[in-house]
Amino acid sequence: MRAKLMVAVAFVLSLAPTALPQPWSVTTPPKPEQPIPVLTQKEILKGLDQVCVLVEDMGHSFEKQGVTRRKIKADVEAKLGDAGIRVSGASDCFQPPFLPHLRIVLMGLRAEPSLFAALLSVELREPVTLTRKSAERGVAFASVWDKKLLLVLSPDKVPTLRAKAGELLGNFLDDYRKANPSRRGQK
């Protein structure tokens, strides 16, 4: 029995000699010259002083009830300005030096004749470069801060979505102020 086991092990090892680690070899991964820290939520927002604001297209059902991209964008830009964050035009986000952007998404659908389902999202997206050698050269955007809210509401409550977007933005600004205590109230 033991001999058959040894033959089977030898056979498997002969099929893939480099695929399995050898018991006599020990490899140590190379150490980077300087370790790259993983940033905390607070560190991500530190020093942020300028963003673009992008509000994704919403379903027409919300626009009919007074919740428009234009109104949400104006609300967000005013609150960012009050917090001391400069707001640039959307075109500044997608050309060098590629500014971060605050992306607001409001998606919804009529779940029943008397109910809407809505997903509201506020996220800060930063320009990043990929480190993979096989990756295409260029800039991508990655979400570095986000909050989402799923709601079910009656048609008469749809206008409250602007206030809910303001609450999510308030979460962002709270985190921003914690990361940038010296910028409180600056314009």
Q: What is the pLDDT, as a whole number, of residue 18?
A: 45
Dihedral of the CA atoms 36, 40, 42, 47 (nearest 10)? 20
Q: What is the pLDDT, as a whole number, of residue 78?
A: 97
Read off the amino acid at residue 177.
Answer: R
Per-residue pLDDT of the chain (187 residues; tens, 9 = 90+): 444 434 343 444 444 344 444 444 455 566 667 777 888 877 899 999 999 999 987 766 688 788 888 999 999 999 999 999 999 998 888 888 889 999 999 988 888 888 888 899 999 999 887 777 666 677 888 999 999 999 999 988 988 999 999 999 999 999 999 999 986 655 5
How many Å apart are CA 51 and CA 49, to the nearest integer?
A: 7
Architecture of domain 40-105+121-146+161-179: 2-Layer Sandwich (3.30)
Where are the domains positioned within the chain? Answer: 40-105+121-146+161-179
Per the document, the length of the chain is 187
How many Å apart are CA 18 and CA 7, to the nearest integer?
A: 18
How many Å apart are CA 185 and CA 177, to the nearest integer?
A: 9
